Amino acid sequence: MSKTAVNIKSIPAEKFAFVNRGEKLTDTKFVDKPVGYLKDAWIRFCKNKGSIVAAVIILIILLFAFLTPAFFTKYDQTFMDVYYAKKAPRNIWLRDHLGICSGTVTRDFNERGMLVLIGIGIGAEDTQGTGKVTLEEGMASYYQPMKEIGDPQEITGMIGSKDKTIYTCELDTYLEYGFQYQSIEQSEYKKIKEWEAQTGLQVLYPLVEENEWNLEPTNANYWYKTKKGTPVTVNARGKAKEIAYEPGMVLEDNYVRDADGNPVYYMFTGGGDVDTAQYKVRVLYYNYYRYVNGFEPEYLFGTDSQGYDLMLRLASGIKLSFLVALVVSIINFTIGAIYGAIEGYYGGTTDLVMERISDILANTPFIVVATLFQLHYASKLGPIPCLLFAYVTTGWLGMAYRVRTQFYRFKNQEYVMAARTLGASDARIIWKHIFPNSLGTIITSCVLVIPGVIFSESMLSFLGIVKLGTEKTTSLGTLLADASSIWMNYPHLMLFPALVISLLEICFNLFGNGLRDAFNPSLRGVEE
């Protein structure tokens, strides 16, 4: 104390100056404005970077689910094409500019199988039915499914069997079906001819003879002469000679021709008047698809096992999962909050009786409840209402337990006793004084209910307990179930639904943890 006094006395008097009234000492402004509970929670939530990223990802997934049908696809939910089932992702712009999403896969073929697919490109270039298109012209065709052919590899077989030659090829799966037979009306035939003249694209191709050189009459891709599946050329005496796969190879056509030698493009199969007469025609299916729909087939996420646009089905599954989870969360919040508040506030006998009821329900396996609802009521009420009933039967118990715990924690606090002393009613104390202090835990619980519901709903759909795979509706679990037996050959069927479920589970947990910390009253005003 003495040192301080000496130091002060040692300061010269001229160093001191009086301050005039109203004179500013500094430009710094000190603001002491109270921060509300929600604003304080928002500030602390924004400091949690992991939760912010998780919230952004959840928002992106939601936007994808609700905007995809309107902006990101050409198809509607009912559009299905069985010829384009299980196809890899394909987008024309990405294929042409970036070389990705081309719809191609890598497969191994023997020479016979490879020639069948090569023949599609050769036949597509033979627009006049001359049968003189070479291998090189066919390989350069836009409709050639074999985009790249690897070097032949000899595979040694077992003793006594012949060695096999295998080619590893890059195949455009959207072109592999090639030609198809269709039954159309005469009026439709005329419309196709008009469309061909307008666009310069050919849909109708010559019919194929059903003779000894036709390996499989129902397969429109065997337009060339074959013997036991091997392409042949036939001389005037009817002798067949095998055609080898080599540069300059020309397949000999087996088209139906009229008396003048011109190829025949349709066959009358019955019908009434001119407009309804039925024609059998052979079409290049890729161009027939363009004629029917007005655009080339392209699916950014590929197609599912039935031929639906996988991106649309994925968006539909996300919406269904979100809506079910949101409804369940709201119902569980309402029932659980009321039930738990009554238990925790009144305690005693009331709490004892209500807890025993909770114990009985808690020991009932959810999967058993869900299965029973689906077996007995799904045909009458529908699978989704039955699923909601199953969730509501036991889903609110966790919420009730958390609310009960919070009420036991806060009901004997001084501010509650003060409110009771001042004559506040039980309802006012519960909802105005205790419940707001429990809000952080309750909100966190509600948010964490959503990933749990999404996961369990996906599990029930995957196991086939809940049937949600309809024309307009599906679920993420149903998509996974459809892909479970074929995903090794078609990995995109498993990749996209599994990725979405994983992201939702991780992000909702991070988001819920951020909300828990933000709404925790004990952290209010604490700098992180």
* pLDDT per position as a tens digit, 93-107: 999 999 899 999 999
Q: Compute the distance between CA of residue 366 and CA of residue 300 in angstroms, rounded to an integer.
A: 37
Q: Which one-letter amino acid corresponds to residue 514?
A: G
Residue 525, Cα to own-chain centre: how many angstroms? 42
Query: Does 165 score more than 90 pLDDT?
Result: no
Mean predicted lDDT score pLDDT of the chain: 86
Tokens of 97: 């500019």
Q: What confidence category does residue 528 fall into, taking pLDDT thresholds of 50, 70 and 90?
A: very low
Of the chain, the percentage scoring pLDDT greater than 70 comes to: 90
Residue labelled with tokens 């045909």: 379
Let me know if 123 is exposed, middle or buried by CB neighbors in 10 A (0-12, 13-18, 19+): buried
Q: What confidence category does residue 311 fall into, taking pLDDT thresholds of 50, 70 and 90?
A: very high
H-run or E-run covering 179: strand 179-185
Query: Does 224 score more than 80 pLDDT?
Result: yes
User: Counting every residue, how long is the chain?
Assistant: 528
Residue bearing the bigger pLDDT, 223 or 29: 223
Query: Does 523 score more than 80 pLDDT?
Result: no
Count CB atoms within 10 A of the CB of residue 68: 20
Query: Does 220 score more than 80 pLDDT?
Result: yes
CA dihedral 402, 405, 411, 412 (to 10 degrees): -160
Q: Compute the distance between CA of residue 458 and CA of residue 456 in angstroms, rounded to an integer.
A: 5
CATH code assigned to 54-67+308-523: 1.10.3720.10
Count CB atoms within 10 A of the CB of residue 509: 16
Confidence (pLDDT) at 83: 92
Average pLDDT in the 141-168 region?
Answer: 79
Average pLDDT in the 373-377 region?
Answer: 86
Sign of the dihedral through C-alpha 58, 61, 62, 63: positive
Sign of the dihedral through C-alpha 68, 71, 77, 83: negative
Average pLDDT in the 403-422 region?
Answer: 85
Q: Are strands 204-205 and 153-155 parallel, antiparallel or unpaired?
A: unpaired
H-run or E-run covering 368: helix 366-381
Let me know if 377 is exposed, middle or buried by CB neighbors in 10 A (0-12, 13-18, 19+): middle
* pLDDT per position as a tens digit, 445-491: 788 888 888 888 888 888 888 887 777 788 898 899 989 888 888 99
DSSP one-letter code for 33? P
Confidence (pLDDT) at 40: 77
Q: Compute the distance between CA of residue 527 and CA of residue 37 in angstroms, rounded to an integer.
A: 15
**Residue ranges of domains in the chain:** 54-67+308-523, 90-293
Q: What confidence category does residue 420 fall into, taking pLDDT thresholds of 50, 70 and 90?
A: confident
* pLDDT per position as a tens digit, 243-276: 888 888 889 999 999 988 899 999 988 877 767 8
